[in-house]
Amino acid sequence: MLLLCNYYVTYRCNAFCEFCHFGVHENFKDTPYTDLNDFKNNVTQLAELGVKFIDLTGGEPLLHKEIHLMAEFAKSNGMQTSITTNAMLYPKFAEKLVGKINLLHFSLDSPDEEEHNRIRKVDCYKQLFKSIEIAKSLGEYPDILFTVTNDTYKKLPRMHEIAKKHDLVLLVNPVFSYFGNPGLTNKAVEYIDEYCNGKRDIYLNKGFMKLRLDGGNDINNPKCKAVSRVVVISPYNEIILPCYHFSNERIKIDRPIKEIRKSEKIKYFKKMEGRFDFCQGCTVNCYFEPSFAFPTNLYAVASLTSKFKYSYQKLIKQKIKKNL
């Protein structure tokens, strides 16, 4: 059952984060932007296939000049939309995006301006707080997304204070290992888990943390549903298999997606999801989030509890917004 589309609207980025590869990778500088007509055609088909959530991602998604039109079209097709941004371009798009993004995340990597800018390798700390002010003035409640690393996890209490000060939810995003970047140590995982426990205004997916403490995905007993529940589309109008982070197949969207989903190649990748050698130890959040969507194992049960709490907090803020 397809649930989520991770739609890469661009691979370009205007930051150069230490834990990411987009901004620093030479191959991404001149990559294309998703064609709006292709996007609309694909989203229409995905909605018919039952996709309920679409993450408009990158790179930096706000580099795409038509991102607001994409969000609007996806919502008109009944999808829940999400965007994670470094917020440098948010003031330019703020009014155009109002009401079109269900889950708007602003990335903040440290409570300290110098450290945040060093991690991003661009001066963007002040712009993020300016963007928060603009968003709230428009009735939006973005989340502060904190990608926690082994170097920054002890800054969590101060990040929590910043979120509380601005009356926003803090999303704790544990860094994962890919493209040579190290994942979290068990010590960091235990600290994060203990600090976040019981705090209503922090979202931490408990399933992610349990998975890390257990050593990640086990290819002999895989928990990943990266193919059966997720479809990944590139700016080149391709479906990426089995996932973006460990892709080894790309299928051009030159025929109906429904037809592609029934192909022998997709059937093979469904059969092998979580079972490839490179899947061993995997903890990539964007694929385990939908993998844990139904209470079929302990990871999913832990995950759903966290999601209910987050949804409740967002609902409260939406009600407050409507009453203002």
- Tell me the per-residue pLDDT of 104-131, one tens digit each, with 9 for 90 and over: 999 999 999 999 999 998 999 999 999 9
What's the rounded mean pLDDT across residues 157-182? 87
Sheet containing 202-203: order of strands: 202-203, 170-174, 143-148, 103-107, 80-85, 53-57, 4-8, 230-233, 238-241, 249-252
**101: confidence class by pLDDT, cuts 50, 70, 90:** very high
**Domain residues for 119?**
4-323
202/279 Cα distance (integer angstroms): 29
| The total number of structural domains that make up the chain | 1
- C-beta of residue 100 within 8 angstroms of C-beta of residue 75: yes
Average confidence score pLDDT of the chain: 91
Identify the pLDDT of residue 123: 95
Domain holding 35: CATH number?
A: 3.20.20.70
